[in-house]
Structure 1
Amino acid sequence: MSRPRVGVAVLTMGTRPVELRALLDSVAKQREPATRIVVVGNGSPLPQLPDGVIGVELPENLGVSGGRNVAMEKLREYGDVDILVDLDDDGLLIEADVITRVADLYEADPKLGIVSFRIADETGFTQRRHVPRLRADDPMRGGEVTTFLGGGHALSMPMLAETGGWPDAFFFTHEETDLAWRALDAGWTIRYEPDLVLQHPRTSPARHAEYYRMTARNRVWLARRNLPAPLVPLYLGTWILLTVARTRSMTGLRAWFGGFAEGVRTACGTRRPMRWSTVRRMTALGRPPVI
């Protein structure tokens, strides 16, 4: 393919204006410039943006999925973006060759659908939960994976057109896995590239009740939407056991099981179970879709 044109999208809720400006400055310092940069105010007004940055203010918070779909459609309107890079508004590109490296990867592989960046704090440390594989002991081990990180990643616009973009109803949590599974089933590749770094403050694993509820609801939706019927109870049963074993908060557990029940009884969107060949491919990559 010809040299891919890279666009950048950032969601913000208006609470991190200093961090947002630092991120946009780091994007502006890239040796290979982004074709377009769009910032979406997710239910909030936007601060003054640098010249050339496209701003979109939404009247209500559409969540991560809905807001990213708005950014994607805005970039699509211009017709000059082949690769979309999503970045958290409190992240920072610490190297000036990120866009160049992304374009190189997609130029070399037309079936590359998703590239997951490495998330690291200001000391270079990467938390285990930010490595998109089960064996997360070495965050510097790259290669093909079955999911990706929401904080920093690149997406093929042709892949998004084929898969239908982000699942709006998810709002937040597991939207990356839903998109990843649909991409894999359509024959696209997902790569984790640890040399592509988004510096991001280290976050606490502490969670609130709403997080537990949304996590459980969306995990049920994820299975109902994407898995072959025999795998749905296996996947959900595995996560029930893991959640009970890992969660120390009774409030969190009650919220989780409330969300699980909500996921069972509410509409999950269109069901398109993945092919068994995709299940085998995911298993070969080290993460069968039962965990």
Structure 2
Amino acid sequence: MRHPRVGVAILTMGTRPAELADLLESVAGQDTPATRVVVVGNGSPLPPLPKWVDGVELPENLGVAGGRNAALARLRESGDVDVVVDLDDDGLLISTDVFTRLTELYASDQRLGVVSFRIADEHGRTQRRHVPRLRAANPMRGGPVTTFLGGGHGLSMRMLEEIGGWPEPFFYAHEETDLAWRALDAGWKVLYEPELVLQHPWTSPTRHAVFYRMVARNRVWLAKRRLPALLVPAYLCVWTVMTVARTRSAAGLRAWFGGFAEGLRTPCPPRRPMRWSTVWRMTRLGRPPVI
């Protein structure tokens, strides 16, 4: 991939028109211009967009996974995108060389599948949950990882053609991990590059009303879809213990266990467990797939 071409995908629900406009301005200001920019209205009408932006209005909210698949489909139609960059609509590219540095990474490694950006607020702070590794004290330590951040990342189109797109039944939560595990199992690399920054407001995941239920349900689905049978109970037991220890909200715990039960009783095909060699690879990267 000598000169990777960048396509940008942005989801919006129409509630952040000012932030979206600022983000698009930062995309337009990149030293390496994007070949295509798609903004998807996820069940909502789109605000006025610049002429160089392709708008897609979905009749209903398909969630993060479904909305991003709709953006991928539109980018794929053009046939001139090698790397897809997904960005949150309330994010901002504060440096003009993000796409330049991203394309250099992809040009230098044919098996690079995913590049995870660093998420930082306006003061440069990165939340621990936004560092895609277990040892999260130093957000500036980059390198190979086993998952990535949904707010800002690059995806190889070649990789997506091989492993498929986002898991639409997930709607929201853990869709990045499902994609990352498939990528790793197919021999692709997932890289955290902290020098590529998406500025994003400091937030709590529990601001979403469905957070607890979706996180629990999708974690069960993730295990059922992707883990060898021997690891499924270990993975779910570890996360149950961690959730009970961490959660201070009784209502949140009730919602979490409700989602957990939903995940156990409902299917989410296909079941394609990763190879044991992938389990070992993830373990060597510092995050065995039981936590």
User: If the length of structure 1 is used for normalisation, what is the TM-score?
Assistant: 0.99
Q: Give 1:133's aligned residue.
A: 133
Q: Give 2:104's aligned residue.
A: 104
Separation of aligned partners in 2, 1:175 and 1:188: 17
Contact 1:209 1:251 in 2 (8 A): no
After superposition, the Cα gap between the structure-2 partners of 1:110 and 1:208, relative to the gap in structure 1 and judged at 3 Å, is closer
Contact 1:209 1:255 in 2 (8 A): no
Range with bigger deviation, 197-206 or 91-100: 197-206
> In structure 2, the residue corresponding to 1:113 is in which secondary structure?
strand
Contact 2:206 2:212 in 1 (8 A): no
Contact 1:42 1:60 in 2 (8 A): yes
Unaligned runs of 5+ in 1: none
TM-superposition CA deviations, 1:43-74 (whole Å, max 9, x none): 00001101210000000000000000000010
Q: Give 1:149's aligned residue.
A: 149
Q: Give 1:250's aligned residue.
A: 250
> In structure 1, the residue corresponding to 2:122 is in which secondary structure?
coil
User: 1:202 is aligned with what amino acid?
Assistant: W
User: If the length of structure 2 is used for normalisation, what is the TM-score?
Assistant: 0.99
User: 1:167 is aligned with what amino acid?
Assistant: P
Separation of aligned partners in 2, 1:209 and 1:259: 13
Q: Give 1:117's aligned residue.
A: 117
TM-superposition CA deviations, 1:188-220 (whole Å, max 9, x none): 000000000000001135455521010000000
TM-superposition CA deviations, 1:57-107 (whole Å, max 9, x none): 000000000000000010000000000000000000000001101100000
Separation of aligned partners in 1, 2:32 and 2:64: 27
Contact 1:118 1:197 in 2 (8 A): yes
Determine whether 1:213 maps to 2:213. Answer: yes
Q: Give 1:227's aligned residue.
A: 227
Unaligned runs of 5+ in 2: none
Cα distance, 1:163 vs structure 2 = 1.0
Q: Give 1:45's aligned residue.
A: 45
Q: Give 1:66's aligned residue.
A: 66
Separation of aligned partners in 2, 1:215 and 1:77: 32
Cα distance, 1:161 vs structure 2 = 1.0
The ranges of structure 1 where at least 4 consecutive aligned residues each deviate by more than 3 angstroms after the TM superposition are 205-209
RMSD of aligned C-alpha atoms? 0.8
Cα distance, 1:2 vs structure 2 = 2.1
TM-superposition CA deviations, 1:163-198 (whole Å, max 9, x none): 111000000000000000000000000000000000
Separation of aligned partners in 1, 2:20 and 2:221: 32
TM-superposition CA deviations, 1:126-145 (whole Å, max 9, x none): 01110000000000000000
Separation of aligned partners in 1, 2:229 and 2:276: 11
**Percent sequence identity over matched residues?**
75
Q: Give 1:185's aligned residue.
A: 185
Contact 1:209 1:252 in 2 (8 A): no
> In structure 2, the residue corresponding to 1:273 is in which secondary structure?
coil
